[in-house]
Structure 1
Amino acid sequence: MSFSVDEVRFLAQAKQEIAAVTADLDLSKKSMIADVATLRKHFGDYGRAVAELAGARRSAEGKLPQDWLMCQESAQQTTPPAVSAERVRRLKTALGEHAIVHDVTCSIGTEGHEVITQGLRYIGSDLDFSRTLMAKHNLQGKNALIARVDALWPASRGADVIIADPARRSGGKRITNPAQLLPPLPSLLDAWPHQPIAVKCAPGLDFSEWTGLVSVVSVDGGVKEACLYSADLADGETREAVVIKNGHTDRITNRTDDAPEQNLAGAPGEYIIDPDGAIVRAGLVRHYAVRENLWMLDERIAYLTGNRIPEGTSGFRFIEEVPLKKLKSAMAAHDAGSVEILVRGVDVDPDQLRKKLQLKGAKPMAVVITRIGSRGVALICGPRQWA
């Protein structure tokens, strides 16, 4: 639940008292009822807001500064700092070191924090008055201009790029059509014509009609977002996967000089590789395979195979391929006691399959359930290992 304007103003004024009172509270799910009662006793009608703030700060620990104002919703929706940093890197490359960025859905200022940290100038606006007040508090002293404005109202002049993060859910359901985002993507483009624009979206949207760059970003194995960049920010690319892992950034693109051959499918090699989700969502499995000297098991399925595991990633040493109906007996023959199950292209529930296997052995193993041609198969492998 977000805050009212009065609650935001109170939280900003009473920050020292709030820090002192909440320091001794557990603020866990089990203690929350008692904690809220304590806070209501101390802060009166503002007790709920203090509890919300304390819980949001705890969930955002390590992601956002702990002296920031935030509600649970804004903390959950915030872009991870590593993803924002990657976006600012692209903007600086395309627009220069002193570009002006207008974030038209600034929320509590998380994107602005990274923009300013990297030396660009920042304008933030949002239709939610409470969010703009929190952004002003969070970015105070950082030379940020914050205003309450509808994202579809062109309220700034001279900005070098527009950043937008439309709402991705409506009525509790995830939006899959860019034209149904809040605000809709076509309306954003109409409101800011002839300007470079970067629109943050959910990775599962249909981007087939976007003529600029679709950049899908993952952090430590989890896909965080897709960002749509207009062509003037794209450096000639139309698809990109950015894989951020342990502080290292790997970038895979669809530049024409990296175009894969038509036929990349073949029999299993020494290892089975499950590409990072950003590579799969960006449609760059073939390009990644070419770069890493791998090949596909089936041209329609996003599993790869080869005789090495790419550096910094994981894979499974291939043992044998068996029909699905013989998997239970094969796993027993390999003395499997636990199993990691990966499924793609076949209607199999991993949890149900694990129960059916009734493993009683001693060895950790893995099984990749997939389709090769018209056959549903099980690829029995050793446990996951890292290169």
Structure 2
Amino acid sequence: MGYDFTLDDVDYLRSGDGVAALAETAESELSTRTRLADIGRARTRFGDRAGLLIETVLLRRKAEAKLDGGAAWLLTDDAVQQATPSLVARRRSVRLTGRRVHDVTCSIGAELSALVPVADTVIGSDLDPVRLAMAAHNVPGAVLVRADALRPCTRDTVVIADPARRSGGKRTHDPAALMPPLPDLLDVYAGRDLAVKCAPGLDFDALDWDGEVEIVSLDGGVREACLWSPGLAGTGVRRRASVLRSDGSAWEITDAEPDDIPEREPGEWIVDPDGAVVRAGLVRHYAARHGLWQLDPRIAYLTGDRVPDGVRGFRILSQLKYTEKALRQELSARDCGSAEILVRGLDVDPDALRRRLKLRGATPLSVVLTRIGRTPVAFVCAARD
């Protein structure tokens, strides 16, 4: 649990004395090695304010890589953990350019910050007065009001919501256990233009959502799903995967694209699609776009004679029916000393298997374990960087 901020704390941090104290505290290393000495020095200088100042400096350092301008924000630990990365928020804001937007769970303002430069009007509301005060500092261009997300207080706005998935550091994937509950949100704003950020692991088919589900990844990690109501969805699109990189590059694919792919024997390469493509159920669409096909129609691994740009591929050296003995012999014959092991479709623990293989060679290799039909198969590969 992080520091429990109060409105008085926020007022102090926004004051001239607080700004100066934060700047001085930020000069401390605050590493494991220096933490005790740094805390002692802060207590000597700032008394009871030391914990508040140290927590804010540490949270800013954590937020700096995630939030534009995070090094100057006011934050709480839970808010930083749940905050939308600025790259993702800016991507979402493109659809809302020129609109009047109301973020009904605005927290410390991560979404508001991306919306203010492009939207006609930006309104943020939250029940937590401390987070609202922080949002006022972080995003001065937004209109802020204290309100319950389940009690609409604006009209003719696009509503954005981000139900809390964490409480006390614990994450939930139950839609009814979110705060506010996802089913209640969808009921309250039925018929409105609505975008709801939620966990990518939710069962979206069970929600019976009639709009678009967008799965977003950032630098290879699946970050979130966004439910777009029909008025905001792409034409003819029910599923979308958006793949973002910190260097600013991005691409997307939707279920409006073709998904016809051939059935063939494995090609020269195995391709592991981005997690957003897999979670969005667009593996076949991605394969069709790039001239690939599946190793097995029920498994997300793809294969082909080329690797799409920007994607990691595994060049197949050998294919064998998988047993530990057969794999150990094949790796030994190839002088393998270390193996990256990827598994889909088989009940195999890669770390436990690696220990049992007891590899002693000099060559690093990759192993892809999967199932083709009912047959467990091992592909020994050279990984492409």
Q: What is the Cα deviation at residue 332 of structure 1?
A: 0.9
TM-score (norm 1): 0.92
Aligned equivalent of 1:370: 370
Q: Does 1:75 align with 2:80?
A: yes
Aligned equivalent of 2:302: 304
Aligned equivalent of 2:219: 220
Change over 3 Å in CA distance of 1:269–1:9 after alignment to 2: same
Q: Matched residue of 2:65: which SS?
A: coil
Residues 55 and 72 of structure 1 are in contact (CA less than 8 Å); yes or no, is this contact kept in structure 2?
A: no
Partner Cα distance (2:296, 2:169) in 1: 36
Q: Deviations over 1:194-218 (max 9, x none)?
A: 2100000011011002111110001
Aligned equivalent of 2:110: 110
Change over 3 Å in CA distance of 1:3–1:9 after alignment to 2: same
Q: Matched residue of 2:145: which SS?
A: strand
Aligned equivalent of 2:163: 166
Backbone CA RMSD of aligned residues: 1.7
Is the deviation greater in 112-121 or in 204-213? 112-121
Aligned equivalent of 1:315: 313
Aligned equivalent of 1:89: 94
Q: Does 1:182 align with 2:179?
A: yes
TM-score (norm 2): 0.92
Partner Cα distance (1:234, 1:113) in 2: 22
Q: Deviations over 1:37-56 (max 9, x none)?
A: 33233222222111110110
Aligned amino acid, residue 279 of structure 2: R
Q: Does 1:201 align with 2:198?
A: yes
Residues 82 and 166 of structure 2 are in contact (CA less than 8 Å); yes or no, is this contact kept in structure 1?
A: no
Q: What is the Cα deviation at residue 172 of structure 1?
A: 5.6
Equivalent residues in 2 for 1:316-335, closer than 5 Å: 316-322=314-320, 323-325=322-324, 326-335=326-335
Equivalent residues in 2 for 1:242-253, closer than 5 Å: 242-245=242-245, 246-253=247-254
Aligned amino acid, residue 3 of structure 1: F
Change over 3 Å in CA distance of 1:170–1:72 after alignment to 2: closer
Aligned equivalent of 2:24: 21
Partner Cα distance (1:154, 1:36) in 2: 45
Q: Matched residue of 1:382: which SS?
A: strand
Aligned equivalent of 1:381: 381
Aligned equivalent of 1:95: none
Q: Does 1:237 align with 2:240?
A: no
Aligned amino acid, residue 59 of structure 1: K
Match 1:273 to one of 254, 257, 271? 271
Q: What is the Cα deviation at residue 112 of structure 1?
A: 0.7
Q: What is the Cα deviation at residue 265 of structure 1?
A: 4.2
What count of residue pairs does the alignment treat as equivalent? 374
Equivalent residues in 2 for 1:345-356, closer than 5 Å: 345-356=345-356
Aligned amino acid, residue 306 of structure 2: R
Partner Cα distance (1:267, 1:316) in 2: 16
Q: Matched residue of 1:233: which SS?
A: coil
Structure 1: segments with no counterpart, 5+ residues:
93-97
Structure 2: segments with no counterpart, 5+ residues:
none
